[in-house]
């Protein structure tokens, strides 16, 4: 006999929690995975990848872009997506400056900032508007061009 009062599915919430867990792990790996001995400070793979000529910055930026794409799939507001892309763009542009860029990369932690923005939006439970994928693709395209040019 079927239940006349079906329970709401927890599947979307499970998918959201799973995505958020993946993004937290990725941001931690990129920005905070390695403790600096004798200090409370941590660095991640992002500044280390940036030391590799050419491909390092590109790979680090692609991993950062993945966080933004996942945030878009979770339908956070477009203003927050733009802010997340701005964090990556600032990290990328300043990262082009020799020495200063590497130091900035260690301290800026764009990925941790972006996951914090995502978590904040999910807590306030924004209206679930559809993501404008064309706008997102254009913004990410500009970001990729900046990464390639750097």
Helices (H), the chain: 11-31, 45-49, 55-73, 78-95, 100-108, 110-123, 133-149
The string of pLDDT tens digits covering residues 22-63 is 999 999 999 999 999 999 999 999 989 888 877 888 888 889
pLDDT of residue 4: 56
- Give the other-Cβ count within 10 Å of 28's Cβ: 15
Task: Delimit the domains of the chain by residue range.
Answer: 12-34+43-149
């Amino acid at each position: 006999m079927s239940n006349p009062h079906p329970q709401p599915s927890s599947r979307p919430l499970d998918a959201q929690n799973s995505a958020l867990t993946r993004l937290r792990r990725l941001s931690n790996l990129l920005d905070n995975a390695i403790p600096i001995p004798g200090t409370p400070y941590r660095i991640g793979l992002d500044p280390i990848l940036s030391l590799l000529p050419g491909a390092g910055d590109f790979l680090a930026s692609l991993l950062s872009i993945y966080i933004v794409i996942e945030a878009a799939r979770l339908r956070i507001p477009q203003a927050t997506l733009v802010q997340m892309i701005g964090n990556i763009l600032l990290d990328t542009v300043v990262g082009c400056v020799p020495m200063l860029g590497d130091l900035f990369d260690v301290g800026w932690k764009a990925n941790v900032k972006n996951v914090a923005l995502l978590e904040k939006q999910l807590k306030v439970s924004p209206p679930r508007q559809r993501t404008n994928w064309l706008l997102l693709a254009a913004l990410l395209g500009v970001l990729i061009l900046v990464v390639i040019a750097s």
